[in-house]
Structure 1
Amino acid sequence: MANKEKILVYGASGVQGGAVARKLLKEGYTVHTVVRNPDKAAQLQKEGFTAFVGDLSDAGSLTLAHEGVDKVFLLLPVDYNLDRNRQFIRNTIAAAKHANIKLIVFNTSGFIPDDATGVTAFDIKRESVAYVKESGIASIILQPIFYMENFLIPGVVGNQTLAYPVPSDGAIPWISMDDAAAFGVYALKHPELAGQTLPILGPETLTGNQLAEQFSAALGREIQFYSLPAEAFEEALSAVMDKATAKDLADSYRWTGTNTHLLPNPEQVIAEMRAAVPSTPLLKWIKQAIQHGFFAS
C-alpha cells in the first residue's frame, strides 16, 4: 500500500542516497530526487522515483522537486569549496522553506568534531549543520564515521594487505551503508527526534590490526594491516579528484588518526535506533561482500 508521505532524497543517484531512496520506495513512500543529468533522471523514473533535473547551485531548479514534499533527506556532495557549499546549503534550505517542509534529516557523511579544527572538511560541514539548525525547520543530524564500503575501493584490500589511512592501534567505529540508510529511514519516520545530532555507527570499534584480523578470518588467508601515510593517500586521491579536495580529505584522515579518542562509540547510538536497525558486524559484511563477488576468498 502506498504511503501518503512524499520524501525528497538528495543523492539518490549515488550509493548513500540511493540506499535510502530504495528503502523508502520499497516501504511505499513517494520518493522525489534531483539529479543534474537528464539521462540519469530518466533511468530513476523507470525505477519508480519521481526524478527532477536540477542543480544544487541553481536555487530555482530545486523548487519543483520540493512541491508537495513532506520531508527531506539531505546529503551534500564531496566538495570542500566553502563558497560552493554555502550556496548548496542555502539553496536547499530556501527550497525547503518555500515548500513548508516538516522535517530535514541531514546525513553529514562523516564525523564533525565539536570544536574548530582548522580542517576544511570538518569546518565546512560544521557551518552547514549550523545553517540547517538555524533554518527554523525541524531537523535531525546523523553522523557516521567511516563506511565499510570504503574497503571496496581498488587497492585497499590486496592479496595479503589491507592498506588504509588509519592507525594500527586506534579504534574506530565503522558502519555499512545499508545500515546507515536504515538509520536514515528510521529518523525520517521519527520526527520526535528533531533537534538532536545522532551518531550512527555499527556495533564495533576496530583498530587497523583488528580490521586485518577480520579480513583474514573471512578470506581464509593472512591479511596484514598497513597504516597508509596520509601523504600517500592524498597522492592517490589527486589522481581521481582535484588536488585541493584531495588535500582536504586527507587532512580529515590525519586529524581522525590522531584523535580516535574523541570519536563517538557504538554505545552512544540511542537505544531505540539500535533496537530498530540491524547492526552488521564487519565480519558479516565481508562475508556478504564475498558472496557478491567483491573479494576472492
Structure 2
Amino acid sequence: MAQSVSAGSGGHGAPGDHPKLILVTGAGGVVGSVGSKLVAMLTASGFAVRAQVRRLDERSEALTKLGAELVVADFTRMDDTMRAVQGCSRIFFCLSVSDVYLEAALNITAAARHHGVEVFVNLSQMTVSQMSITNITTATTSKQQKYHWLVEQVLAWSGLPVVEIRATLFLEHPFFYAMAAKTIRKSRELRLPFRTAKISPTAAMDVTRVAYEVISNPQSHLGKVYEVVGPESLDGDAMAAQYSKALGREVKYVDVPMEEWMQTDLAEQHLSDHLHNHFTILAAKTVRGENDRKSDDVELVTGVKALTVEEWVRQNIHFFAAE
C-alpha cells in the first residue's frame, strides 16, 4: 500500500511560485539515478515534488532532505498507483529495467488518464526509434525493449499529453561504469564485445537536464520525441582513449568475442534472466551498429552540449581510480 511521507515545505520556494505538484517515479533508482537527480533540480528551483520510491532507506531519506514529499508505492498495485498520482498535474515516468515494467507502466498510464494530468513525460529507450510491429523478434529485441515500444504505443492511444525522451545507453550502464571500472582498475582494460562498432552513450545528467526543461515548462514540448545521445560516435579504441585522457593513464580497448564475454565478464554480474536477456541483446545491437546514433536534442532543449565520455569520466574519476 502506498505511504505518503511529508517532507515539509523546504525547497518549494515562495507560495504560489510553482503550484503544480510533479510526480517523479523511480526516484530511488540506482543506474543513472535520473529520478533523484531530477528531484534535486526541481526542488532547487522551487517546484513541489512528490518522489516515488519502493522503500524507505538512505536514498529516500536524501530525497526528503531535498524537500520532496515521498510516496512509497508499488506500481504493479493499482491502489498504490492511484494514490501516487492523485493530486499531481505532471508526471515523469522512469523505472528501472524490470520484468514488471510493462504492468507498472500500464497502471500509471491508466491512473494518469483517470486523474487527468497536464503532461506525462516518459523516459524511453533509443531502440524504439528503430522498432516497428513488423521487426520485433525475440532474436533481435529484448523483452525490455519490447516493453518500451508497447508503452509508447499505449501512451499514443491514451490521449494523454505526452513527451517521449528516448535515451541511448547510459554511461552509467554497467558496460561503461561498474564492469568497466573493475577491469580498468585491475588491468587498465575496457573489455567489451563490440568489435569495431561505434556507439554514442549518454550521461544520466544530460538525460536529467532534458527532463527538467520539459517537465518544468511542458507546453512547448507536448507531442515531441527527443533523442538523447552523447556528442560523439566512438568505437572501442576511441572510447578507451577518452578514459585514458581523463584518468591520466593508458586504458586499452579489448574486443572480447561475444561468447567469451557472456561466459566471463557478463556472467560475473549474476543477472536475472530478464536483465541477462536485455544486456546480451544490447551488446548484439551495438555490434550491428544500431546504437550508433546522432542527435543534437540535448543542446536543442537545454542550450548546453552533451557531456563527452572524457568529461563524464573526470566527474566520476574516484570510481575508476587504481586500487
Q: Do both share a fold (TM > 0.5)? A: yes
Pair 1:26–1:229, CA change in 2 (3 A):
farther
Task: Report the CA distance between 1:157 and its aligned residue.
Answer: 2.9
Task: Report the CA distance between 1:72 and its aligned residue.
Answer: 0.5
Aligned-partner SS, 1:108? strand
Task: Output the amino acid matched with 1:256.
Answer: T
Is the contact made by 1:106 and 1:142 (CA closer than 8 Å) also made in structure 2?
A: yes
Aligned-partner SS, 1:294? helix
Runs of 4+, deviation exceeding 6 Å: none
CA distance in 2, matches of 1:186, 1:45: 22
Pairing 1:257–2:287 present = yes
Report 1:1-297 matches (<5 A).
1-2=13-14, 3-14=18-29, 15-39=33-57, 41=60, 44-79=63-98, 81=99, 84-112=100-128, 113-115=130-132, 116-118=135-137, 119-120=141-142, 121-150=144-173, 151-154=176-179, 155-158=182-185, 159-167=187-195, 169-188=196-215, 189-235=217-263, 236-237=265-266, 239-260=269-290, 263-267=292-296, 269=297, 272-273=300-301, 276-290=303-317, 293-296=318-321
Is the contact made by 1:41 and 1:52 (CA closer than 8 Å) also made in structure 2?
A: no
Task: Report the CA distance between 1:133 and its aligned residue.
Answer: 1.6
CA distance in 2, matches of 1:195, 1:296: 43
Unaligned runs of 5+ in 2: 1-12
Is the contact made by 1:204 and 1:266 (CA closer than 8 Å) also made in structure 2?
A: no
Unaligned runs of 5+ in 1: none
Pair 1:244–1:202, CA change in 2 (3 A):
closer
Over aligned residues, Cα RMSD in angstroms?
A: 2.3
**Structure 1 stretch 91-100 or stretch 234-243: which is displaced more?**
234-243
Task: Output the amino acid matched with 1:227.
Answer: D
Task: Report the CA distance between 1:277 and its aligned residue.
Answer: 3.6
**Structure 1 stretch 111-120 or stretch 38-47: which is displaced more?**
38-47
CA distance in 2, matches of 1:202, 1:137: 29
Task: Report the CA distance between 1:247 and its aligned residue.
Answer: 2.2
Aligned-partner SS, 1:147? coil
Pair 1:296–1:41, CA change in 2 (3 A):
closer
CA distance in 1, matches of 2:93, 2:257: 32
CA distance in 2, matches of 1:19, 1:229: 36
CA distance in 2, matches of 1:130, 1:234: 32
Task: Report the CA distance between 1:237 and its aligned residue.
Answer: 4.6
Aligned length: 288
Q: Percent identity?
A: 22
Task: Report the CA distance between 1:203 and its aligned residue.
Answer: 1.5
- TM-score normalised by structure 2 residue count: 0.81
Pair 1:91–1:176, CA change in 2 (3 A):
same
CA distance in 2, matches of 1:186, 1:100: 21
- TM-score normalised by structure 1 residue count: 0.87
